[in-house]
Amino acid sequence: MSSNHALVFGASGISGWNTLVQALSHPTPTTFASITGVTNRPINKADALLPDDERITLVSGIDLSLTPEDAIEALKTKVPRIAEITHVFFYAYIHEPKGESLRVANARIVENALAALKRLTPRLKHFVLQTGGKVRQQPIFG
């Protein structure tokens, strides 16, 4: 079995949920010895409809929007074996109604997560950041 440990931020969203599930078998069934999903809002594995696999752990209550020190403390105390993390998949996202505040809010959560990872994950070798945004378009018809 591998010693790789994946950490998935935004685990309750579409991309994060799918990454948790796919990490169980891709690229091979033994690539990750453990997979930890992180969410801000409370959710458990059953409600998230995650497979009943002991390699998946779901951790809620990680608010990356506060300060880097808060992110460090939350991850250090809530994520099991945080120092063993080797791969990070970042899909966390905050929706803000105004364009500039959207950029600021999402830049903050990435910066806070990176500050925490720099301090807590000496074995980190891979980081994936999915970016994008939501655009409100006017209806074509009507």
Confidence (pLDDT) at 2: 80
CB atoms within 10 A of CB 70: 15
- Going by C-alpha positions, the residue among 27, 112, 38 that lies closest to residue 82 is 38
Confidence (pLDDT) at 131: 82
Q: Where are the beta strands (DSSP E) in the chain?
A: 5-9, 34-38, 56-59, 87-90, 126-129
CB atoms within 10 A of CB 43: 15
Per-residue pLDDT of the chain (142 residues), as tens digits, is 689 999 999 999 999 999 999 999 999 999 999 999 999 999 999 999 999 999 999 999 999 999 999 999 999 999 999 999 999 999 999 887 766 688 889 999 999 999 999 999 999 999 999 987 666 566 666 5
Helix segments in 64-128, DSSP class H? 68-78, 99-120
pTM of the model: 0.90
The secondary structure element, H or E, covering residue 80 is none
The ranges assigned to domains in the chain are 5-129
Confidence (pLDDT) at 135: 61
Looking at residue 139, its amino acid is: P
CA-based torsion, 106, 112, 114, 116: positive or negative: negative
Look up residue 142 and give its DSSP letter.
Answer: -
| SS3 label, residue 90 | strand
Which architecture characterizes domain 5-129 according to CATH? 3-Layer(aba) Sandwich (3.40)
Confidence (pLDDT) at 66: 95
